Structure 1
Amino acid sequence: GSFEQLDLVKEFFGLFRSKDNLILVDPVMADNGELYRIFQPEFAAGMRSLCKKADIIVPNLTEAALLLEESYHPGPYTRAYIEKILKKLSKLGPEKIVLTGVFFEEEELGAATYDKRNDSTDYLFTKRIPGSYHGTGDIFASALLSGLLNNFSLNESAQIAVNFTADSIRRTYNAKTDYRFGVNFEQCIPDFLKELKLI
């Protein structure tokens, strides 16, 4: 939430990085084409320097535009556009990118993955659910990391994260609870653990 925190996290990465750990950065700072109100425009530069130290980053398309110092496009997108963004993001330093908020048609929503090592891109979609929901980026990134730490591939982990996030949103939509309180992910945990093959 501040430049001081960015510096502390970068120092932590430097002290604790090893060949056996994984550094994932979710550059939380913006959505829907706008920087969150608590941040100044120059915060994006600080977040860019943090992303350079990550093994994998998980920006949404607004955050990707800010990291790349480009204008934001609201979509729908083309494969060529998404793949250009993914490759540009990989040039910041991380080996793997998972870009959220990707869609080619209005009825779908999902993520795109890019692995720099083998220059591979994949797409993972689900049916779009009406509404806007707080906290879904956190849920997605946490589920993605859970998959990676349980030895699933990047694409498998992203699919697990898409499924868990969509299930959480769907439960919230069907229950008609106040979206401002976040999504009902708790009741989705048993299915999530099954996908991770932990139960």
Structure 2
Amino acid sequence: MNGHSIPGRISRHRSSDTFLRQFEEVNRTMTNETPIALTIAGSDSGGGAGIQADLKAFSALGAYGCSVITALTAQNTQGVQGIFDVEPAFIRQQLDSVFSDLAIKAVKVGMLSQPDVITTVADALAHYRPAYLVVDPVMVATSGDVLLHQNAIETLRQSLIPKASLITPNLHEAAVLLDRPVPKNPDQMIDMIGPLLALGSRAILLKGGHLSAGNSDDKATDFYHDGSSLHRLESNWIKTVNTHGTGCTLSSAITALLARGYSMSEAIPEAKKYIAQAIAHADQLSIGEGSGPVHHFYNIW
């Protein structure tokens, strides 16, 4: 098993010259065809996660974002107060609308709470066959609220994950997918990689942020398996309560970069740098009374 460590230093200040260089680099990587990324997920009425976080991350990283909404949530920084599922037939209509008109290169799938919805999305993706499919198996909100119905888990395993270019579970989601306890240390995380790959995705990014919260070394450790080798990805642990939407934002950041032409091995570390900065600057925002959002536009505002 081969691996390497990617450092994740946090630079808290960015000069205007650096900002301009970043956007010049975006322009250089764009072809005559605008990079388009699609998010298929639920709406967060509080604006910090779900569709709203995805579109912010797409925009911040230079991709044009479009969306298919699978559920509406009554949600804020303190929790989820209600979920209203969109009918599968209308979800398919949204999918047909965007795919029939837009040259979508990369797709991110987030909250799919019902088996019929998962099947509908999986069937449409099998038909349209985008170049990249990133699946963030959203099951539990940052607040601890359960977002995925139990009877949908097996449908997710069987119908959607085998079509994925990458899945991005956190520790709790990985435990649910594998029906095993939440890992307590990096070795137990590594033990999950093989069984997760066996679900059929071409690559795995297992996020260890929840594990890192109590560690003394102040490092957040994720593991990325590209289908042939394992890579250890480390970044500085940032102490803040404002982490709402971190998982959505990371997976959508990866999707945006894939749409722009990055390879998977390039997109993942770059997306981790972006989310680390978004978390590091989260306390600059004052949003709500609970767990606030990360700062998607830290380098613009």
Q: Which residue in the other structure is 2:61 paired with?
A: none
Bigger fraction of residues in helix = 1
More divergent stretch after superposition (131-140 vs 168-177): 168-177
Is residue 166 of structure 1 aligned with residue 276 of structure 2?
yes
- Pair 1:115-2:226 in alignment: yes
Deviation of the 1:29 alpha carbon: 0.9
Which of 237, 260, 269 aligns to 1:127? It is 237
Task: Report SS of the residue matched to 2:169.
Answer: coil
Partner of 1:147: 257
Shift, 1:31, TM fit = 5.4
Which residues in structure 2 correspond to 1:94-113 (within 5 Å)?
94-102=201-209, 103=211, 105-106=215-216, 107-113=218-224
Task: State TM-score, norm by structure 2.
Answer: 0.54
Which whole-Å CA distance do the structure 2 matches of 1:4 and 1:189 have between them? 40
Letter in structure 2 aligned against 1:111: D
Match of 2:115 in 1: 3
Partner of 1:64: 174
Give the match for residue 297 of structure 2: 186
1:51 Cα deviation after fit: 1.0
1:82 is matched with 189
Give the whole-Å Cα distance in 2 for the aligned partners of 1:108 and 1:83.
17
Instruction: Identify the residue that residue 40 of structure 1 maps to in structure 2.
Output: 149
**Structure 1 residues not aligned, in runs of 5+:** 191-199
Paired letter, 1:169: I
Larger radius of gyration: 2
Deviation for aligned residue 1:42: 2.7
Dislocated runs of 4+, deviation >6 Å? none
Q: Could you tell me how far apart the structure 2 residues matched to 1:145 and 1:189 are?
A: 20
Higher mean Cα deviation, 120-129 or 107-116? 120-129
CA, structure 1 residues 111+150, in 2 after alignment: closer, same or farther (shift >3 Å)?
Answer: farther
User: Is 1:169–1:183's contact at 8 Å kept on the other side of the alignment?
Assistant: yes
Distance 1:175 1:55 in 2: 34
Q: 8 Å contact 2:241–2:292 — kept in the other structure?
A: no
SS of aligned partner of 2:164: coil
Residue aligning to 2:129: 17
Q: 1:138 aligns with which of 216, 239, 248?
A: 248
Aligned to 1:93: 200
For 1:68, the aligned partner's letter is: L
Contact 2:286 2:292 in 1 (8 A): no
After superposition, the C-alpha distances for 1:74-95 in whole angstroms (9 at most, x for unaligned) are x3x12x3222212211111111
- Which amino acid counterpart does residue 15 of structure 1 have in structure 2? H
- Give the Å deviation of 1:162: 1.6
Task: Tell me the secondary structure at the aligned position of residue 281 of structure 2.
Answer: helix
- CA shift, 1:177, in A, is 4.2
RMSD value over aligned CA atoms?
2.6
Separation (CA, whole Å) in 2 of partners of 1:2 and 1:40: 6
CA separation in 1, counterparts of 2:254 and 2:221? 13
Aligned length: 183
Deviation at 1:146, TM superposition (A): 2.4
> In the aligned structure 1, how far is the partner of 2:115 from the partner of 2:300?
34
CA distance in structure 1 between the partners assigned to 2:265 and 2:222 by the alignment: 10
User: Which blocks of at least 5 consecutive residues in structure 2 are unaligned?
Assistant: 1-112
Tell me which moved more, 146-155 or 92-101: 146-155
The alignment-based identity, stated in percent, is 23
| Structure 1 residues 2-27: Cα deviation after superposition (integer angstroms, max 9, x where no partner) | 22210111111210126xx1121111
